[in-house]
C-alpha cells in the first residue's frame, strides 16, 4: 500500500511537471464547452440540468482518455525507465495500481474542472444536484474503465501512437455495443440472451443508467470488475514480457 | 568470505536466439567481478536476470540467500542496480528521483535526508540537484543512476557500464568509489574498458555468445594470453651468433629481431607455453659476457586474451577490426 502511494505520487507530480497536463486539461475543457453549448443546445433546451454535457462526455473520453493512458507503460519502455521501476523492491500489482490510480486521479481532476457548468445551471435554474453528483461519479467510473483498458494496451507496446489507436478502437467497441443502430443490426438474427450479454458490456448503457441519478450496484460491479480484469491483465502482460 | 550471488546454469532464449547459455558462477563478499565480452555477448541479459527484470528460461539465481525467481522483492531489497544506459525519468530532478527511490527503499525523515546528502556527496551531483534530468549531460545522468543504485547501501551492486560516458577524471572517481565500497559488498560490473578491470576488479569473467570463456583474476587471465612472459632485450656490440645461441635455449620457441636502436640489437623471445625464461636468458648473457642494455619480461595483457578467447567471426565494423593494438584505456569492442 505504501509503495502504491509512493508510485502514485511520483506519477501524479509527473503529469503536472510537463505541459502534457495543461494541454490536456485545456483541450478537454474547451471541447466540453463546445459540445455542451453548441452541439448540446445547453441554453436552447431551457432545462436546468447537465444532460447536454454528460451525453457528449463518452465521446470526449473516447479520444482523450486513451491520450492519457497511451504513455503509462509505452513511455516507460521507450525510455528504459521500466527497468529502473521494476527492479525496485515492489510488486507488479503495486506498480500497475500506482500508475493507474495516478492517471485516474488526473482524469478526475480534469472532469472536476468542468464545475463552472454546474455553477451555471445552479444560477440559472434549480437543477437536481443528486443527479449531477451521480453523473460526475458515473463519469469518473467511465474514465476509469477506459483507463484500465488503455493501460493494459500500453503495456503491450513501446510505441505510444500504436497504444493510442488500439485503445481508441477497443474502447469504441465497448461503447458501441448498446447504440441503437448496432443493436438493431444484431437484433433479429442473434440469440436474445447473447444480445443481452453484449449489451451488458456496454459502457454507454451503464453510464446512462447512472446519469439518470440512480447508482445501481450492478453498474458499480460492472465498472469495478472491468477495471480489475484489465489491470490484472496489465500485470500479466508485463510478467509475460519479462519472460520474453 | 560468504557467497552473496550464486548463479547456476542460467539460460535465456529470445525466440530462437540463445542470449545466455548455461552460465554458472558465484560472487563472494569483497569481490568485484568484471564482466567482459563483445557487444551482444549476454552481459546485460545476465544482469537483467540477476536483478529480476528478465525471467530466465532456465537456471537458478540466489542473491543474499533469496531466490530471485521465487522471492524477487526480498532479493531486490538487497540489490542496487544501475541499468544499461542509466535510464531515469527525464522530467524529474535528481533530488526528486533520490527521494522517490529512498521512499520505495523504506527510508524516511531525517535518516533519509542524511543518506541522500551523503550519496550526493559521493557521486558529486551537488550542482545539478534541482535541474530536470533531461537537461543533464551523459556523465551526470550516469552519476545520478549510480546514486540511486547505492542509495540504500546494498550488499550487492550490479552496475552495467558504470563509467560509460564519463570523462577520465570522473571515471577515476567512480572507480575509487567502487573500490571503497568493495570491502563489504559483492559487486558485479560490466565494461568494455579493459583497463578498468585491472583498476577495480578482483576477478574478471569473459563472456562470449552466452558462455563464460575465461574466468580468473586479471593477472591470471593476462597470464593466459599468448604473449605472456615474452622477453624483449637489447645488446650492445652483439655478434650475429647471438641470435642462433638464443634460438638454442631449451624453452624458447621463437626469436624475432626487432629494429636496431642506436647500434643496439633488439630481440623478442617467445617462450614455450608462456613459461618464464628471463632467468635462462640472463644466465646465458652472463656466461657469454654480452653487454645487456635492457632486459624485460612482459606479462600478458587482458586485451590480448580478450581477442584470443572471444569469437573473431562476430560481425565487425571496419573501425573496430582495424583496432588490433588498442592503446591502454581505449575501448575494445572487437
Residue B29 in grid coordinates = 563478499
- The count of structural domains within chain A is 1
Give me the sheet containing B32-36, strands edge to edge.
B79-82, B156-160, B186-190, B32-36, B203-208, B211-216
Contact B53 A244 (CB under 8 A): no
Chain A contact for B52, CB < 8 A?
Answer: yes
Separation of alpha carbons A92 and B53, rounded Å: 11
pLDDT at A216: 84
Contact A83 B76 (CB under 8 A): no
B 136-195 residues with CB < 8 A to A: 148
Chain A contact for B71, CB < 8 A?
Answer: no
Close Cβ partners of B39 (under 8 Å, ≥ 6 residues apart): B333
Query: Mean pLDDT throughout B199-208?
Result: 91
Contact A3 B104 (CB under 8 A): yes
Contacts of A89 in chain B (CB under 8 A): 73-74, 76-77, 104-105
Express each pLDDT in B176-188 by its tens digit: 999 999 988 999 9
- Predicted model pTM: 0.84
Higher-pLDDT residue of B329, A236: A236
pLDDT at A178: 66
Does B332 score more than 50 pLDDT?
A: no
DSSP string, A12-71: HHHHHTSHHHHHHHHHHHHHHHIIIIIIS-TTTT--SS-HHHHHHHHHHHHHHHHHHHTH
For residue B81, what are the β-bridge partners?
B158
CA distance A185 to chain B (A): 44
Instruction: Measure CB to CB from residue A89 to each of B73, B96, B148 and give the nearest one.
Output: B73
DSSP state for residue B124 in the 8-state scheme: T
Close Cβ partners of B248 (under 8 Å, ≥ 6 residues apart): none
CA distance B305 to chain A (A): 33
Asked whether the CA dihedral A232, A235, A239, A240 is positive or negative, the reply is: positive
Pairing mode, strands B58-63 and B252-261: unpaired
DSSP string, A149-174: HHHHHHTT-S-HHHHHHHHHHHHHHH
Does A63 score more than 80 pLDDT?
A: yes
Max Cα separation, chain A? 60
pLDDT band of B322, cuts 50, 70, 90: very low
Asked whether the CA dihedral B23, B147, B40, B324 is positive or negative, the reply is: negative
What is the span of the domain harbouring residue A62? 2-243
Q: How far is CA B216 from CA A242, B310, B315, in A?
A: 31, 15, 27
Amino acid at each position: 500500500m505504501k509503495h502504491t502511494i509512493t508510485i502514485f505520487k511520483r506519477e501524479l507530480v509527473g503529469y503536472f511537471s510537463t505541459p502534457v497536463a495543461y494541454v490536456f486539461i485545456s483541450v478537454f475543457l474547451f471541447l466540453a464547452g463546445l459540445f455542451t453549448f453548441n452541439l448540446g443546445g445547453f441554453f436552447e433546451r431551457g432545462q436546468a440540468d447537465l444532460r447536454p454535457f454528460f451525453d457528449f462526455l463518452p465521446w470526449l473520453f473516447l479520444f482523450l482518455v486513451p491520450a492519457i493512458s497511451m504513455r503509462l507503460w509505452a513511455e516507460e519502455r521507450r525510455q528504459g525507465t521500466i527497468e529502473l521501476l521494476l527492479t525496485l523492491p515492489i510488486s507488479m500489482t503495486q506498480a500497475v495500481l500506482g500508475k493507474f490510480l495516478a492517471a485516474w486521479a488526473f482524469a478526475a481532476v480534469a472532469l472536476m474542472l468542468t464545475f463552472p457548468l454546474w455553477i451555471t445551471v445552479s444560477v440559472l435554474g434549480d437543477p437536481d444536484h443528486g443527479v449531477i453528483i451521480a453523473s460526475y461519479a458515473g463519469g469518473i467510473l467511465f474514465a476509469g474503465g477506459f483507463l484500465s483498458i488503455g493501460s493494459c494496451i500500453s503495456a503491450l507496446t513501446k510505441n505510444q501512437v500504436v497504444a493510442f489507436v488500439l485503445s481508441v478502437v477497443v474502447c469504441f467497441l465497448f461503447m458501441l455495443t448498446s447504440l441503437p443502430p448496432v443493436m438493431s443490426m444484431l437484433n433479429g438474427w442473434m440469440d436474445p440472451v447473447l444480445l443481452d450479454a453484449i449489451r451488458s458490456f456496454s459502457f454507454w448503457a451503464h453510464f446512462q443508467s447512472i446519469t439518470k441519478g440512480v447508482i445501481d450496484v450492478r453498474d458499480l460491479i460492472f465498472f469495478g470488475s472491468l477495471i480489475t480484469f484489465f489491470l490484472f491483465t496489465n500485470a500479466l502482460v508485463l510478467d509475460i514480457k519479462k519472460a520474453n | 568470505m560468504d557467497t552473496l550471488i550464486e548463479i547456476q546454469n542460467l539460460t535465456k532464449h529470445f525466440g530462437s536466439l540463445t542470449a545466455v547459455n548455461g552460465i554458472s558462477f558465484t560472487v563472494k563478499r569483497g569481490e568485484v567481478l568484471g564482466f567482459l565480452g563483445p557487444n551482444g555477448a549476454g552481459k546485460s541479459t545476465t544482469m537483467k536476470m540477476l536483478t529480476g527484470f528478465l525471467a530466465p528460461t532456465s537456471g537458478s539465481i540466489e542473491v543474499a540467500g533469496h531466490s530471485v525467481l521465487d522471492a524477487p522483492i526480498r532479493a531486490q531489497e538487497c540489490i542496487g542496480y544501475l541499468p544499461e544506459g542509466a535510464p531515469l525519468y527525464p522530467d524529474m530532478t535528481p533530488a526528486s528521483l533520490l527521494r522517490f527511490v529512498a521512499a520505495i527503499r523504506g527510508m524516511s525523515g531525517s535518516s533519509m535526508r542524511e543518506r541522500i546528502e551523503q550519496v550526493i556527496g559521493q557521486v558529486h551531483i551537488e550542482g545539478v540537484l534541482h535541474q530536470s534530468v533531461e537537461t543533464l549531460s551523459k556523465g551526470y545522468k550516469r552519476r545520478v543512476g549510480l546514486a540511486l543504485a547505492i542509495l540504500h547501501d546494498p550488499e550487492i551492486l550490479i552496475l552495467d557500464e558504470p563509467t560509460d560516458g564519463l570523462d577520465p577524471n570522473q571515471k577515476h572517481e567512480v572507480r575509487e568509489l567502487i573500490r571503497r565500497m568493495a570491502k563489504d559488498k559483492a559487486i558485479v560490473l560490466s565494461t568494455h574498458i579493459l583497463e578498468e578491470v585491472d583498476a577495480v576488479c578482483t576477478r574478471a569473467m569473459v563472456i562470449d555468445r552466452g558462455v563464460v570463456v575465461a574466468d580468473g583474476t586479471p593477472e591470471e587471465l593476462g597470464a593466459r594470453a599468448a604473449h605472456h612472459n615474452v622477453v624483449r632485450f637489447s645488446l650492445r656490440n652483439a655478434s650475429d651468433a647471438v641470435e642462433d645461441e638464443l634460438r638454442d635455449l631449451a624453452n624458447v620457441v621463437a626469436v624475432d629481431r626487432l629494429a636496431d636502436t642506436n647500434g643496439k640489437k633488439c630481440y623478442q623471445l617467445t617462450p614455450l607455453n608462456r613459461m618464464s625464461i628471463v632467468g635462462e636468458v640472463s644466465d646465458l648473457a652472463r656466461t657469454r659476457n654480452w653487454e645487456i642494455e635492457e632486459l624485460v619480461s612482459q606479462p600478458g595483457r587482458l586485451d590480448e586474451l580478450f581477442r584470443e578467447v572471444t569469437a573473431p567471426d562476430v560481425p565487425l565494423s571496419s573501425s573496430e577490426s582495424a583496432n588490433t593494438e588498442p592503446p591502454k584505456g581505449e575501448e575494445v569492442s572487437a
